[in-house]
Amino acid sequence: MSPETGRLVWRRSPACGNGACVEVAFDGDRVLVRDSKHPEREPLAFTTEEWRSFTAGVVAGAFTQN
Q: Give the pLDDT confidence of 20-42 residue by residue, as tens digits.
A: 899 999 999 999 999 999 999 99
Residue 66 in domain: no
State mean pLDDT over 11-24. 89
Residue 64 in domain: no
Average pLDDT, whole number, for the chain? 90
Predicted structure pTM score: 0.80
Count up the domains in the chain and report the number.
1
Pairing of strands 44-47, 30-35: antiparallel
Residue 1: what pLDDT?
43
Number of H helices, E strands in the chain: 1, 3
Q: Distance between CA atoms of 1 and 25, rounded to whole angstroms?
A: 14
Handedness of CA 53, 60, 36, 7 (dihedral sign): positive
Q: Are 23 and 11 in contact (CB under 8 A)?
A: yes
Residue 22 in domain: yes
- Domain residues for the domain of 13 are 3-59
Residue 3: what pLDDT?
47
Residue 5: what pLDDT?
56
